[in-house]
Structure 1
Amino acid sequence: MNLTKQLQEHANTSKSKLPKEALDTMQSAINELVSSSILDTASKTGDQFPDISLPNATGKQINFSEILKQNRVVLTFYRGGWCPYCNLELRAFQNVLSEIEAKGAKLIAISPETPDNSLSTTEKNNLSFEVLSDTNNKVSKALGLVFKLPESLQALYTSFGIDLSQSQDNKDQELPIAATYIIEQDGTISYDFLSEDYKLRANPNEVIAAL
C-alpha cells in the first residue's frame, strides 16, 4: 500500500474514533491555515535553499553545503514523533531509501523536536537516514513553513498528552506545515510538495520520479 492510501486509512480510522468536537477543532485549524495564504510565501521550486547546519539525533552538526558537494538532497519536514501521520511518512521514505540513493540523492528529515526526541523517533521507526533538529523552527521559518497553533488546537493537543513545550524545548507552540523538497547540488529547489493539511504528504514514488 502506498503512503497516500496509508494516510487516508489512518485519517478514516481517526475520524471514526475521535469526538466531533475534536475533529472540528483540527479542521478549523487547517481552514485557518489555508485562509492565511501561508503557501504563497513558502519556498518553492526555483527558489534557492539556504546554507544551513543542524544537529542530528546524536547531536552531530550536519552541514548542507558539504552534503550538496556530493549529492542532491531529498528533504522532508515533519511535526514530531508524536504525530502518527509523520511516522507513516518517515517509514514510507525509509522503505524507498535505496531507490533515492540510487538516484544520487541523500534523504534527510527535519523537525522542531530536540535531538533526544529525534533519536527516539529514529529508533522507533528504524530509520537509517539523518533526522535533524531545527531548534525554534529557524530553518522552517526561513522557508516560510511555520505557523502558530490556535489556542483551541493547543488545548486539544494537551488533552491528547502532546506537550510541544517539552518535545521542542520552547514555549512557542509553532509547527512546520507538511513540506518535502528536492534540492539540487547548486542549492536550487527542483521539486516541492507543500500542504496546510497535516494528513497529506508527498508520495515517495512521486519524489523518486522527480529525481
Structure 2
Amino acid sequence: MNETTSPPVSLAAQLRQTKADFLSTVPVDIQEALAAASAPLVQAHLEQYALGVGALAPDFCLPNVDGKSVCLRDVLAKGPVVLSFYRGGWCPYCNLELRALQQSYPEMSALGATLLAISPQLPDRSRAFAEERLLSFEVLSDVGDVVARKFGLVYTVPEAIRPIYQQWGIDLPAWNGDDSWKLPMPATFVLDSAGTVQGAFVQMDYTQRMEPADIIAILRTL
C-alpha cells in the first residue's frame, strides 16, 4: 500500500488558525476595543508610504545577536537579500513567520540569498529569541526603529491598546528599551544584488505575512 504525504500547511493557514484560537479566548468587549482603536490605523492605509517594487533599499548597519554590525551593502555584495521586519519575539504571528522562514532558508540559501530578520527589540532580547528558536539566519536589532522608518514602516500603537497589551504581559518599553510604543508594520522585501526591491509585502494587519514560497519564486527570477 502506497503511503501518501500531506502537502505542507501554508503559513497563511497557520496564521488564520492562530488568530482564531487566540480570539476564542478574548472577551468580546476587548475584541471590540481593539478593533475600534485600530480602525484609524487601518483606514490610513499606511502601507502606501512603504518602499515598493522598483525602489532602491536604503543602506543600513545594525547589530546582530553577537553585537557585530551587519551592513546591507556588505550582504548585497554576496547576492540577493530577503529582509523580514517583525514586531518582536512576543508576537505569536511573528514567531510563526520566522519559523516558516527558517524552514525555507536552506532553499533561499541555495538560490544565493541571505535572510535578515529585523525588529526594534533590544539586542539581548533578540539573542534569547534567536537561540530559543534555533534561527540560523541573522537576527538584527533596530532599536528606535531607525531603519524601519527609512522603509516607511513605523507606526505608533494607539494609547487605548497599550493597557490591553500590558494586561497580556506585552511590555513594549521593556522589550524595546524606550517608551515610544512604536512598532514596524510587518514587512518582507526581496532585494536583488543591486539593492532594488523586486518583491514587497507590507501589511498593517499583523496577522498576515508573505508566504516563503512566494519569496522563493521571486528569488528564482533573479
TM bucket by the smaller chain?
A: over 0.9
> What does residue 5 of structure 2 align with?
none
Q: Which runs of 5+ in 2 are unaligned?
A: 1-8
Candidates 66, 91, 109, aligned match of 1:83: 91
Tell me how far 1:164 sits from its aligned partner: 0.7
Tell me how far 1:155 sits from its aligned partner: 1.1
> What does residue 6 of structure 2 align with?
none
2:2 counterpart of 1:3: no
Q: Distance in 1 between matches of 2:81 and 2:164?
A: 35
**Deviation sequence 1:59-100 (CA, Å, 0-9, x none):** 110011011011110110110000000000000000011111
Report 1:1-211 matches (<5 A).
1-211=9-219
Which deviates more, 154-163 or 26-35? Answer: 26-35
Q: Distance in 1 between matches of 2:34 and 2:113?
A: 35
Q: Distance in 2 between matches of 1:25 and 1:97?
A: 38
Structure index of larger Rg = 2
Which amino acid in 1 is paired with 2:148?
Answer: S
Tell me how far 1:150 sits from its aligned partner: 0.5
Which amino acid in 2 is paired with 1:197?
Answer: D
Question: Equivalent residue of 2:145, what SS?
Answer: helix
Tell me how far 1:29 sits from its aligned partner: 4.1
Does the 8 A contact of 2:54 with 2:198 survive in 1?
Answer: yes
**Taking structure 1 as the reference length, what is the TM-score of the superposition?**
0.97
Q: Which runs of 5+ in 1 are unaligned?
A: none
Which amino acid in 2 is paired with 1:35?
Answer: Q
Which amino acid in 1 is paired with 2:14?
Answer: Q
Aligned pairs, number:
211
Does the 8 A contact of 1:30 with 1:197 survive in 2?
Answer: no
**Deviation sequence 1:22-68 (CA, Å, 0-9, x none):** 22233334422221221121111111101100000111100110110
> Following superposition, which runs of at least 4 residues in structure 1 exceed 6 angstroms of deviation?
none
**Taking structure 2 as the reference length, what is the TM-score of the superposition?**
0.92
**Deviation sequence 1:147-191 (CA, Å, 0-9, x none):** 001011111101111111111001110000110000111111110
Instruction: Give the root-mean-square deviation of aligned CA atoms.
Output: 1.0
Q: Distance in 2 between matches of 1:80 and 1:137?
A: 12
Does the 8 A contact of 2:38 with 2:158 survive in 1?
Answer: no
**Deviation sequence 1:103-161 (CA, Å, 0-9, x none):** 11001100000110001110121101000000100011111101001011111101111
